[in-house]
Amino acid sequence: MKFKALLKYLLFFLIFLQTSLISLDREKQSKILWPMEMKVPISGSFAEFRNSHMHMGCDFKTFGINGFPVLGLFDSTIKSMSYSTAGYGLSVLIFSPKLGLTARYAHLNDLHGDINGLEDLKHSLLLMGNSSGFNLNIKPNYFSVKSGSKLARTGETGSGVSHLHVEIWDGSGYINPLTLPNYSINDTNPPTIQRVFIDSDKSPTITFDVEKSEEGNYKIIHEGEISLTGKLKFKVSGYDKMISRNPNNIYGLRLVINNLTTYSKILDRMTFKEAGNRDILYDVNKSSLSPAAYVYNFFDQPKNAYSLDLSNYPDKSKVNVELILFDASGNESNILIPITVSKNNLITKSEKPKRTYSSEDKKVSIDTSKAKTIGNGFFSINKIDSLPEEIQIENFYPVGKIYEIEANNISWKNDITGSYEGSFPNKEDSLYIYDKNIKYWISLKTIKSGNKSKFTTTRVGYLTMMRDKSPPVINYPFLMNRDFNLPELKDKNMIDVFYSISDVGSGIVKRTVLLEGKTYPYEYDKYRQYIKLEIPTAIKKYKNRVIVQVQVTDKAGNDSKWFTDVITF
């Protein structure tokens, strides 16, 4: 066992040396500094799955607090600065001609630091131009950035809660910061494996739940032989946590067939073209950002690609498959799948891939004409009697027929369209699909046409009309007494008050906030799902306490209970 472990370590080390940062020598790599004064955890990593793209940098955790100093990564000049109410928010690009590197900082609170005039320029651009945003290219050497100097302060502008986003790239593409000497992490946690999928062109897709046998080692939950033949595609749902509480991306994966590595991918860098195509790494129809379920392809992504071809293996022969995920610190997780080749386990495949599919009773149909399909598989739509007990939710239940939609050896880009037949006039009723991989109910956008609900989806699973009788809930945040700004950013004339909102059904559409019985302005943070109030401290001249009341309503018309809070000055 020690010898086997040593071989795995040596293989990982050799692959790392061959592929990491070819265009940068080690001395130049060491000049790229950590972007903050503290060694904070990384909360989002390189090439991580997002709902519309891949995350081509690293996110640095600021614990929900704004105002930490942001440091220059290397000696450089400011190339551009931009601001938008979404996306990157307040962002700065720096460039080093000596290193041939560009870096982006995003979601900044402001540009207060060691560079005179930078914050004033930002304010001037917002006052003179469009207050919702700008993008300004800056002449070389106009603003110089010293390595390690203070450039800005962290914030939560654009999308997401408070954090610092950093990207680094050269002329060839994006670089994974975790490959740099100053970005090494003392991480001993191996990645998590959640589930295994096997697609075949000769048999239906198989999904295996897994269990951990020991740290880094998993086994599938299955009794008896796994009998397969044809061209197989292996996919693994998993993630890595590093030293952060939230799931991150892995650093690489390997496929081992009968003790021989047949496929590997290391995420040390990506070309600009690769960065624009999530399909090269993920099954986008099974993957999810929240809840986290990153489904990795163990094969390259041409239309008819596969991981293993069993067609030429003798009937009843044994094939041992090992699927491995590893992180940037070299921690590995693996799962073994013993396969018995069986020429009898076949399905009948139509001569030409279909574009439309219907349930046997013709009440549900889907159409893939507007989607780009990958693979030569098919969809199945089968009516079932009831939902599995483990996915049922109190006061949230089906009122229509239930159909199980499955994708076999096929994935797709863009939405597929569909139709669900039935008359449901109640406003509490909406069409949902339950994704079995992420174990989550998803509300579908629908258009009513007679007694049909037309929908679009990127997911498959249990499709049915659900009735939402579950009211939303208001409570104090988990960390109810914390500040969300450092003292130097806080408005000392205001008290910040937060309330968290949760809803298991259709989602919140209305919020009512009263201060002393009168309507009071508020902000809604959709990322934290908080209501935020700013209450003037000047009120304490007139009274020592005030009463705040909050109520929210979901799309189904369910009202939460009034939440009452007493604010003491």
> How is 367-405 classified by DSSP, letter by letter?
E-TTSEEESS-EEEEEEESS--GGG-BTTEEE-S-EEEE
Kindly state the average pLDDT of the residues 51-78.
95
* Confidence at residue 19, expressed as pLDDT on a 0 to 100 scale: 45
Kindly state the average pLDDT of the residues 274-287.
94
* Confidence at residue 352, expressed as pLDDT on a 0 to 100 scale: 57
CATH 2.70.50 domain extents, the chain? 192-341
* Confidence at residue 75, expressed as pLDDT on a 0 to 100 scale: 97
In which residue are the tokens 């105002």 written? Answer: 67
CATH 2.60.220.30 domain extents, the chain? 356-468
Is the pLDDT assigned to residue 479 strictly greater than 80? no
Cα–Cα distance for residue pair 287/55, rounded to 1 Å: 14
pLDDT digits (tens, 9 = 90+) for 111-120: 999 999 999 9
As a whole number, the mean pLDDT across the chain is: 90
CATH 2.70.70.10 domain extents, the chain? 22-183
Helix, strand, or coil here: 435?
A: strand
More confident site: 176 or 130: 176
Is the pLDDT assigned to residue 13 strictly greater than 60? no
192-341 CATH fold: Coagulation Factor XIII; Chain A, domain 1 (2.70.50)
Is the pLDDT assigned to residue 557 strictly greater than 80? yes
Cα–Cα distance for residue pair 298/264, rounded to 1 Å: 8
Q: pTM (2 decimals)?
A: 0.86
22-183 CATH fold: Glucose Permease (Domain IIA) (2.70.70)
| Tokens standing for residue 341 | 């080749």
Is the pLDDT assigned to residue 494 strictly greater than 50? yes
- ∠ CA 205-209-213, nearest 5°, is 140
Among 1.10.10.10, 2.60.220.30, 3.40.50.150, 2.60.120.330, name the CATH number for the domain at 356-468.
Answer: 2.60.220.30
The gap from C-alpha 315 to its chain's centroid, in whole angstroms, comes to 41
* Confidence at residue 16, expressed as pLDDT on a 0 to 100 scale: 46
* Confidence at residue 347, expressed as pLDDT on a 0 to 100 scale: 56
Is the pLDDT assigned to residue 20 strictly greater than 50? no
What one-character DSSP code corresponds to residue 557? Answer: -
CATH 2.60.40 domain extents, the chain? 473-568
Please list the helix, strand and coil fractions of the chain in percent, rounded to the nearest 5, in that order. 10, 45, 45
473-568 CATH fold: Immunoglobulin-like (2.60.40)
